[in-house]
Chain A
Amino acid sequence: MATTNLFDFPPQPYTGEKARLTRAFDYLILVLALFLFIGAFHLHMALTVGDWDFWLDWKDRQWWPLVTPLMAITFPAAVQSVMWTHFRLPLGATLCVSCLLIGMWITRIFAYHYWNYFPINVVLPATLMPSALVLDMILMLSNSLTVTSILGGMSFALLFYPSNWPIFAMFHTSVEYGNAQLTIADVFGFQYIRTGMPEYLRLIERGTLRTYGQYATPLSAFCSALLCTLMYPLWWHLGKWFATIRYVKTI
């Protein structure tokens, strides 16, 4: 059963008018899903990860790589459980993260930049796309909740910091400012006035992991990886329970 045409993929159970109608249904669902995930996932991230994702001077080595993947694996897990179990579509995580990024960029550009005057480089969002792609691949190739929870959950967390370091490393260049050594990110926090978010509210590494010295990041990443392996199945089942298939069954 060799595929002759590259675009001639299964499934093709319908032809003519029926094919046209089911395709229209596809687009309807996709557009609804897009808006739902942009709204819901973005809200979820803004409420849980919040300032760690908003501000350069919150993106530390300890809390940022711990909290972000842990809170971000939630919706991908739930959507994967629906998309894979019922439709064999290995795109739940990538779809969620794409929607999240759309929501984030809209907020950064309009709310932060145009309405509150922050330069966009001060409020650059982190990317979770590499994590999401790998999560989708692992689910598709393994077709197993257990394997995806363990391998997928771990890779999702472990890939987060290295995939974002190329974006944010340069903001950790040191600057002599006000008779102190600061990072460029800290200088942003000092210069670009935030009246409601004073410095002391930052939940960042304060050097309390003394025994681990410079290894704050790997330690956080592994801690996050461990938690993600638990978070993944939890939200997988949440997604399963949430997405009842009784409407689809009647078709």
Chain B
Amino acid sequence: MFIHIKNYVANVFLALTCLLAAGPNNAYAHGEKALEPFIRMRTIQWYDVHLTQDKLKINEEVTITGKFHVAEDWPRSVPKPDMAYLNVAVPGPVFIRTERYLSGQPLMSSVALKLGGDYDFKIVLKARIPGRYHIHPFFNLHDAGAVMGPGQWVDVTGDPAAFTNSVKTISGETVDMESFGFANGVSWHVFWIVLGTAWLLWWVRRPLFIPRFKMLKSGHGDALITPLDKTIAKAILVAVPLFVFGAYAMTESQYPNAIPLQAALDQIEPLPPAVNAGKVNIKVIRTEYRVPVRAMNMVAQIHNYSDQPIRIGEFASANLRFINPSLGQSGKNEDDTLVAAKGLVIDDDSLIQPGETKTVSMAAADALWETEKLDGLFRDADSRMGGLLFLYDPSGRRYIASISTSVIPKFD
């Protein structure tokens, strides 16, 4: 894909320019398949992710909303999510993030997530650079990597020069973020560079290396520094620090209320349970992955504690969605490439009555297991998988269970 290639090219260019310096971004962009399958399936379990629109003009906003469950069966090799950052996979600031909420609260910094917690989120992006972008919400997890949410294409058109972004300070001053401090910063740089260059030219215009070396070795080194040089040096030695501290004092009086960078961690509690909320209890007894037919066969014991009969509608894991086609409740985005619209087949698809415990065998089958590189699970040190199972009652009410199970590969 164009964006993906461009990211790599941009990174290579950046690496060359910075001479192997660490790039400022894009390191994880579209690393959807880069992380180990068990991390993608058993950490942040995304669902209901939507974008408000897929065609924008510069300065228009798109809102990403969605929910996620933090898996209870968090892999032991992954540090607990005590430091997590809700991010958006885009190639740099082609959008700016104007707002972000977690569980309805503004989220400005990083946050600690609770295992088993349910959260919803909202991110507002404002279009800044025209192009076609594949946007994903994702979590940067400290020491673990980027766990991607589902992606969607967005087209941005218009003139980038028309982009505006202003912010109001506490004292009521409006600041243009695209240019704030630029002229001032450049002026200071120019001032010091001119002074430095003047000092360099003062010396460079003289005969340099060979003549000076010869004179120094022949014992006439003292003549290489003239009294005028010394006078100028003394003047600079006094003037530069005086000027620096003078400018510093003036800046202090100009910005007496400057505050340090803010480093607090946001404190946000999970929402009331939405997944494993007690209405449905699911225990996966055995799971086999049939390699030749690319099917995950799960045998699960389902207990219905609700007062309505229920059926299984969908199994979702690592942004793959396997839909039970006999249910009209889910799978509205059938054109989405990561949805297997007929991917979930259940042996006994009859209603599970209130209070009933039923053992069901289901098969989540699709080539997506392979194309999304989730079938590598069996070659990992941790070959447990996890995901969300969506069940529905006749009125369309949804019950969600987060399951986890070890997987046995079958090669026949």
B200, A98: Cβ atoms closer than 8 Å: yes
B24, A166: Cβ atoms closer than 8 Å: no
CB distance from B125 to the nearest CB of A (A): 8
Given A13-B214, A46-B18, A51-B22, residue A89 in contact with residue B208 (CB < 8 A): yes
Interface of B (DSSP majority class) = mixed
With beta carbons under 8 angstroms apart, the residue of A173, A178, A198, A248 that contacts B258 is A173
Q: Is B333 an interface residue (CB 8 A)?
A: no
**Interface-centre pick from A86, A121, A196 (highest chain B CB count, 10 A):** A196
Chain B minimum-CB-distance residue to A51: B22
Q: Is B285 an interface residue (CB 8 A)?
A: no
B189, A127: Cβ atoms closer than 8 Å: yes
CB distance from A213 to the nearest CB of B (A): 11
Q: Is A79 an interface residue (CB 8 A)?
A: no
Query: Interface segment, B242-250, B291-299, B312-320, B372-380?
Result: B242-250
Distance between Cα atoms of A61 and B242 in the complex (Å)? 22
Q: Is A147 an interface residue (CB 8 A)?
A: no
Distance between Cα atoms of A187 and B214 in the complex (Å)? 57
With beta carbons under 8 angstroms apart, the residue of A95, A134, A141, A191 that contacts B98 is A191
Interface residues on B, range: 35 or more
Q: Is B205 an interface residue (CB 8 A)?
A: yes
Q: Is B261 an interface residue (CB 8 A)?
A: yes
Given A87-B208, A97-B196, residue A172 in contact with residue B10 (CB < 8 A): no
Given A47-B20, A191-B177, A200-B85, residue A132 in contact with residue B196 (CB < 8 A): yes
B193, A101: Cβ atoms closer than 8 Å: yes
Q: Is A159 an interface residue (CB 8 A)?
A: yes
**Those of B75-90 within 8 Å (CB) of chain A:** 83-85, 87-90
CB distance from B356 to the nearest CB of A (A): 46
B26, A116: Cβ atoms closer than 8 Å: yes
Q: Is B219 an interface residue (CB 8 A)?
A: no
Q: Is A234 an interface residue (CB 8 A)?
A: no
Given A9-B226, A121-B181, residue A29 in contact with residue B209 (CB < 8 A): yes
Distance between Cα atoms of A120 and B89 in the complex (Å)? 22
Q: Is A144 an interface residue (CB 8 A)?
A: no
Interface residues on A, range: 35 or more
Q: Is B355 an interface residue (CB 8 A)?
A: no
Given A95-B200, A97-B196, A167-B184, residue A193 in contact with residue B25 (CB < 8 A): yes
Q: Is B254 an interface residue (CB 8 A)?
A: yes
With beta carbons under 8 angstroms apart, the residue of B85, B93, B128, B169 that contacts A184 is B169
Chain A minimum-CB-distance residue to B21: A46
Chain B minimum-CB-distance residue to A171: B181
Ranked nearest first, the 7 interchain pairs of A and B with the lowest CB-CB distance are A196-B27, A46-B21, A198-B85, A178-B106, A129-B192, A162-B248, A198-B140
Q: Which residues of B are in contact with A by a Cβ distance under 8 Å?
A: 10, 13-14, 17-29, 83-85, 87-100, 105-110, 128-129, 138, 140, 142, 146, 165, 167-171, 173, 175, 177-182, 184-185, 188-189, 192-193, 195-197, 199-200, 203-216, 220-221, 223-226, 228-230, 233-234, 236-237, 240-241, 243-245, 247-248, 250-252, 254-255, 257-264
What are 19 A-B residue pairs whose CB atoms fall within 8 Å in the complex?
A11-B214, A13-B211, A22-B207, A30-B208, A89-B212, A101-B193, A107-B18, A117-B94, A120-B182, A162-B244, A167-B188, A175-B167, A175-B168, A186-B261, A195-B92, A196-B27, A197-B27, A205-B261, A205-B263
